[in-house]
Structure 1
Amino acid sequence: MDKKVELFVPCFIDQLYPDTAFNTIRLLERAGCEVLYNSEQTCCGQPAYNAGFWDEAKEVGAGFLNNFSEDNYIVSPSASCVGMLKGGYNDLFTNSIEHNRCRNIQRHVHEISDFLVNVIKRDYFGAELVGTAVYHDSCAALRECGIKEEPRKLLAQVGGLELLEMKDGETCCGFGGTFAVKFEGISVAMAEQKVKNAQAVNADYIISTDASCLLQLQAYIDKHHIPIKTLHLVDVLTSGWANI
């Protein structure tokens, strides 16, 4: 049965990784979904919320609630944004005029791997990527959304890909939004540790569900000319498809 899905494209992906947004559409369509996209959508309000500007975050969040419906699934290729929608919005909209609408939308919001594995109940999409990879558990996916096995189930079905576990796989990459700006030295050291743990198992790829983590790790990789590539889960799941 076809499912209508409203796509939420996070700021990081919209501005820096647009191909991941298009690949999300391709992946959802292959899963049998009708994908709807509201071009009026903007940010979920997470940057302002995390920085303590809750009034501004609520204003942005109210826009999100108006731009998405209460009837369809809402899917995003970002555990960080989903974590904000499911958790942060409780702080912003509980007992407000938007309370009921917010709760209905929260029930329909899913990160992409959670949606594919737990709602669509599919884990094979014909992807192929030759190499060895480690999966980085982003803080938002693991701690805010409870996502751990879902990405691994999907990656296990990718042809040619060997998925290994690295040391301290659940440790933060050091991005943390404004944390990387305010505490640059600590942030860089955390990225270094993550990349070295991937190197220790001879990984070709570091894969995650959060573009912000990938941006953090790829910056360290590029600066030090390390032969590892970061990839978003969605881009892996659409690898090797014939372009028709």
Structure 2
Amino acid sequence: MKVSLFITCLSDAIYPRVGEAMVRLLARYGVTVEFPTVQTCCGQPAFNSGYWKEARTTAKTIIEAFEDCDFVISPSGSCTGMIHHYPKLFEDDKIMYEKALKLQSKSYEFTQFLVQVLGVTDVGASFPHKVTYHPSCHGSRLLGVKDEPMALMSHVKGLEFVPLPFAEDCCGFGGTFAVKMSDISAAMVSEKSDHIKETEAEVLVGLDMACLMNIAGNLRYRNEPVRVMHLAELLYEGVK
């Protein structure tokens, strides 16, 4: 299979170790991952702000970047979810609409690809720590990614999973929402941190670095000794 990595802006610019963990984990299953360098932002900030013309420009770049591959995998449910909006952007352009549908059908969030495509739920990892999990809004609600991360964590030796109270509540990031309504966003992430503290977990994991960055920033501000990781990082650290 020809698999391409859609790294996303945050992972590319701030958290490259997430992409590295994904690629190295997949290599253990004989999957070689390509990286089209022409890829850019998925267009979600423009799309959510009502700038659909600009969103179409970036969407076309993404569609062309990944046209010649069998699967596209990403460490972000949010950015993968944006690809699912592409057909809506091109409803008046038959050719681009068909291309958008094709890209949508072969795009997967990382845990989706591991579990649904490769059939892997046990990577052979060991991680003897107390862990809780934040299910990001777009991944869980738009893509329906719920069982896959839980299946993967359930097979990690030594991992003690602690459910997060009110786990499905938004962390308050929401991209431009955090800028336009910063006071509400700050209150939401503070509440999320309160619930994380309740679990007494050593580690918080998730599937979207935007949400994890927001939560990690609040935890650091409060001097809470909780390590924040993408699930791909946890799994790779556990098999090294």
Query: With structure 2 as the length reference, what TM-score do the two structures score?
Result: 0.96
Distance in structure 2 (CA, Å) of the matches to 1:186 and 1:116: 36
1:75 CA drift (Å): 0.6
Length, aligned pairs only: 239
CA displacement, residues 59-116 of structure 1 (integer Å, 9 cap, x when unaligned): 0100111111254111111100110001x21221124131111111111000011111
Distance in structure 1 (CA, Å) of the matches to 2:27 and 2:62: 23
The alignment partner of 1:75 has SS state of strand
Q: Aligned runs of 1:85-234 on 2, under 5 Å? A: 85-86=83-84, 88-96=85-93, 97-234=95-232
C-alpha contact (below 8 Å) 1:45/1:58 kept by paired residues: yes
Q: Choose 98-107 or 8-17, whichever is displaced more.
A: 98-107
1:44 CA drift (Å): 1.0
Match in the other structure for 2:34? 36
| Structure-2 change in CA distance of 1:53 and 1:25 (3 Å) | same
Distance in structure 2 (CA, Å) of the matches to 1:71 and 1:229: 35
Q: Choose 189-198 or 54-63, whichever is displaced more.
A: 189-198
Distance in structure 1 (CA, Å) of the matches to 2:154 and 2:38: 36
Q: Choose 40-49 or 94-103, whichever is displaced more.
A: 94-103
Distance in structure 2 (CA, Å) of the matches to 1:186 and 1:219: 16
The alignment partner of 1:6 has SS state of strand
CA displacement, residues 130-186 of structure 1 (integer Å, 9 cap, x when unaligned): 211111010011111001111011111122211121211111000000111111111
Q: Choose 191-200 or 90-99, whichever is displaced more.
A: 90-99
| Structure-2 change in CA distance of 1:177 and 1:159 (3 Å) | same
Distance in structure 2 (CA, Å) of the matches to 1:106 and 1:197: 34
Distance in structure 2 (CA, Å) of the matches to 1:203 and 1:13: 24
Q: Choose 193-202 or 72-81, whichever is displaced more.
A: 193-202
Distance in structure 2 (CA, Å) of the matches to 1:166 and 1:71: 37
Q: Choose 170-179 or 150-159, whichever is displaced more.
A: 150-159
Match in the other structure for 1:17? 15
The alignment partner of 2:129 has SS state of strand
C-alpha contact (below 8 Å) 1:70/1:101 kept by paired residues: no
Give the number of the structure whose residues are more often strand, by fraction. Answer: 1
Distance in structure 2 (CA, Å) of the matches to 1:198 and 1:61: 36
Aligned residue identity for 2:70: N
- Gaps of at least 5 residues in structure 1 are none
Q: Does 1:61 align with 2:59?
A: yes
Aligned-pair identity in percent equals: 36
C-alpha contact (below 8 Å) 1:79/1:140 kept by paired residues: yes
Q: Calculate the aligned-residue CA RMSD, in Å.
A: 1.2
Distance in structure 2 (CA, Å) of the matches to 1:209 and 1:80: 9
Aligned residue identity for 2:90: F
Distance in structure 1 (CA, Å) of the matches to 2:14 and 2:192: 22
C-alpha contact (below 8 Å) 2:72/2:107 kept by paired residues: yes
- Gaps of at least 5 residues in structure 2 are none
Distance in structure 1 (CA, Å) of the matches to 2:154 and 2:239: 17
Aligned residue identity for 2:71: Y
Aligned residue identity for 1:123: T
